[in-house]
Amino acid sequence: MKKKFLVCIDSDGCAFDTMEIKHKECFCPAYINYFGLQPVSKYARDAWDFANLYSSYRGIHRLLSLLKSLEVLAERKEVIEREFTPPKMEELRSYIAQGGALSNSGLEAYLAEHPESEEIRNVIAWSVNVNDRVAEMVHGVPPFPHVRESLEELSKYADIVIVSATQQLALEREWSENKLIHLIHAVKGQESGNKKEIIASLKGDYEPDHVLMIGDAPGDMKAAHDNGALFYPICPDKEAESWASFGESMQAFLNGTYRGELEAKNIAYFETLLPTEPKWKQ
């Protein structure tokens, strides 16, 4: 590494406005189709959006978000009144509980050993279809306002590393297309491990208060804090405002005064935007 500070930054929903289009146009339509949710599609969309965009579950792995979305859907009064029962996905739950890999390749290995499992076969088909939809649909999405200026300033003082659950080639393509890749020291996608593991592999060359994670999900915050690093939240539905306000926190980070009151204030506001229960249950 070259500089005194390290800043890890997520990509989807943090630097680029890709979360909405991916979930609303790719993940959710496939979820309704593959899991037979057409009779309650309106409520299925609400459940998916809650679990993946507008709650404390934002940013969890797609297999976990699938289960959470179906749980939320099954508890909704209107769905119960229609006498509709969403799939319980008991085999997928068992697979995850037993430590099965959260990946298509992990599911495919399980299916090879259990070829009679239509449930797992369907989950794989859904996940592959989501990938196909994303490849076809998601392109030409620019960074949020103020991202470019923020990173240009930050790159003068810090090594900036992309830390994301997206495939590395996709990250490199997106950041290159938007002419931001020259500001980045390294790109670490899903092939490099989970975010906690990636930060752990990077932080050794820096003082503890010299490592910052910028992210848009509670999982990003946990990955940072589990490594003793600092966290700056990009708030869902207020991303441009978060980047416009980043200058104050960036200066505090560089001055060694971010840990404490300012970080806590930023996180407290972030958490108010991500409830644990959907609005129809509150």
Measure CA 171 to chain center: 14
Task: For 36-60, give one letter per residue: b (16+ CB within 10 A) or e.
Answer: ebeebeebbbbbbbbbbbbbbbbbb
CATH number of this structure's domain 5-17+143-272: 3.40.50.1000
Burial of 85 (0-12, 13-18, 19+ CB in 10 A): exposed
Q: What is the pLDDT of residues 251-271, one digit of tens each?
A: 999 999 999 999 999 999 999
Percent share of the chain, pLDDT over 90: 88
Cβ atoms of residues 158 and 195 within 8 Å: no
- Report phi then psi at 166, rounded to 5: -85, 155
Instruction: Reduce the DSSP state of residue 148 to 3 states and report it.
Output: helix
Q: What is the pLDDT of residues 9-19, one digit of tens each?
A: 999 999 999 99
What the block records as the tokens of 212 is 């910052």
What is the rounded distance in angstroms from the CA atom of residue 63 to the CA atom of residue 52?
Answer: 11
Q: What is the pLDDT of residues 109-160, one digit of tens each?
A: 999 999 999 999 999 999 999 999 998 998 889 999 999 999 999 999 999 9
Instruction: Reduce the DSSP state of residue 164 to 3 states and report it.
Output: coil
pTM listed for this prediction: 0.90
Contacts for 113-121 with beta carbons within 8 Å, 24 or more apart? 117/91, 119/87, 119/89, 119/90, 119/91, 119/92, 120/91, 120/92, 120/95
- Report phi then psi at 16, rounded to 5: -120, 145
